[in-house]
Structure 1
């Protein structure tokens, strides 16, 4: 392997967009998350609801992938997936999960630790039928994480099913569902000058939230 042309060890910049002080915090973390998400949307970030979802397989190997957050409330954060996917297989063995929102241009990150619970069929069906029809068909086409010989296999299956469901409703696949992440911990990170970043961690405790500042 040749030496890289860019010396990445020297790539750095100052974080100057502002700080995060205790006075800015809310009593519970989802209110602050909602405020930050609204600001990410107002800033027109690409995919502001995109989050890195980390799971661990039965051998202890971590895996990460980007998934879209589809709902959040006091009960937790919701995403949908193929129940035969790698992430779903991992969660069947170990429900512990981590989410990470990388809002780089705002110099912010949010990390979530918790446990994933399967959504009810009623919840899944309600969301599935709110999706665009092509997205519903796409859910039928892909056996997520399985090996395929070529992209043409997917495209051919998609056209076949699009014709099949041309004039009718697309049924909910039995292998498609969702998860609610019940939050145990949320950490908010705001970049600061001279690498003196602001970090606050919320940890669920006795029916409420303990809040601590962390060293950067």
Structure 2
């Protein structure tokens, strides 16, 4: 059995030149995300969301990006979940995409706001029925005695809301408003490429970081 300290990988798939990278980080992100989609990497839309609670302790979880534009990055969740409670007291977060097969990482930091009700309603209604009912059934992040609680809650939600459930008031979207980006491309000999974008006076400032 290999020891963890013996595991090695040489990163040789690509490079990231600051002179060729986009001047706008959202443009660069779209290029990389489109490449991840075209390359059919597993769950290219999966991202880590890191938040910090009132106690100063960080926590992370995986969620799925559901949209992005010049305003920011959007995902949907239960507002009463741990991440929702932490964002209520500290509305800032860090996101990370890791496309292992492409040897790429994207990190994004910024303020987080709730999307408006109409946007949350529209996305909720686009979800499969089971997922819409699941939003009613799961008291996310709360302790439950067994899985049977979820099954019973789902059955109750189906009887109560039928085939056309409305969005629960405790469920909806968040948008991270980017203030900082980092794009990481693995390179040989651990001399990785790292590009940082920082928002300064309304414009993005791009610079290279040491690996």
**TM-score higher than 0.5:** yes
> Is the partner of 1:129 in helix, strand or coil?
helix
Q: Which runs of 4+ in 1 moved over 4 A?
A: none
TM norm structure 1: 0.95
CA offset digits 1:2-45 (Å, max 9, x no partner)? xxx54101101100101111233111001110010011011111
> Is the partner of 1:160 in helix, strand or coil?
helix
1:1-216 alignment runs, 5 A limit: 5-166=1-162, 168-216=163-211
In the comparison of the two structures, how many residue pairs are matched? Answer: 211
CA offset digits 1:24-80 (Å, max 9, x no partner)? 311100111001001101111111110000000111100000000001000000011
The alignment yields a C-alpha RMSD, in angstroms, of 1.1
CA distance in 1, matches of 2:160, 2:82: 28
Gaps of 5+ in 2: none
CA distance in 2, matches of 1:165, 1:95: 32
Contact kept, 8 Å, 2:18 with 2:207, in 1: the verdict is: no
TM-superposed deviation, 1:163: 3.8
TM-superposed deviation, 1:130: 1.0
CA distance in 2, matches of 1:181, 1:154: 30
Gaps of 5+ in 1: none
CA distance in 2, matches of 1:46, 1:155: 29
CA offset digits 1:91-132 (Å, max 9, x no partner)? 111111000001111000000010101111111111111111
